[in-house]
Amino acid sequence: MTHIVIDTNVIVSAALSAKGYPAQVAALISQTEDIQVFYSTAIMNEYRRVLSYNKLRIPEIIQDNIISALEVFGTHIEPSASDIILPDESDRIFYDTAKASKSILITGNTKHFPDEDFIVTPAEFVNSWKERVH
C-alpha cells in the first residue's frame, strides 16, 4: 500500500484539466486500491477554500465530488506540528501530515519543501508508479 498526501496545487490542477500529471494522479487514486490518501482537517479546509475561488471557475458539483471522494476514500489524521523551517509556512499542513502518515507528499511546488525523498512532483509519482507496475 502506498500512502500519499496531495498538495492543493495538484488537486486544483486535476480539477481544471483532465490532462497532465495531476489528472493522472487523480486517476491512479480512483483506479487502484493500492494507494491510500491521507488528509488532516486543515488540509481539507484548504482544499475547500481554494477550490471555491471564483477565478478558478470550478463548478460546485466538481468541488463537492472531489471533497466527498477524499473524505470517503481517504484517511483522516491530525498530525503534530513539526518545527522544521519551511519557505512557506502554509505548506506545513502537508509536510506534517505526510511525515505523520509516512506518506509520499505530491506537490507541484517542491521548492517550498526540504529536499527529502518523500516529496515528489506529480510527474515523478506517476512515472514511479508506472515503473513499479510494469
Separation CA 97–CA 5 (nearest Å): 7
Distance from C-alpha of 104 to C-alpha of 98, rounded to nearest angstrom: 6
Per-residue pLDDT at 132: 86
DSSP state of 112: G
User: Does the predicted model carry a pTM greater than 0.75?
Assistant: yes
Q: Which three cell numbers stand for residue 75?
A: 484517511
- Over residues 37-74, the pLDDT tens digits come to 999 999 999 999 999 999 999 999 999 999 999 999 99
pLDDT at 58: 97
Q: How many domains does the chain fold into?
A: 1
Range of the domain at 16: 2-133
Phi, psi of 29 (to 5 degrees): -60, -40
Sorting pLDDT into bands at 50, 70 and 90, what band is 104?
A: very high
Q: What is the CATH number of the domain that holds 77?
A: 3.40.50.1010
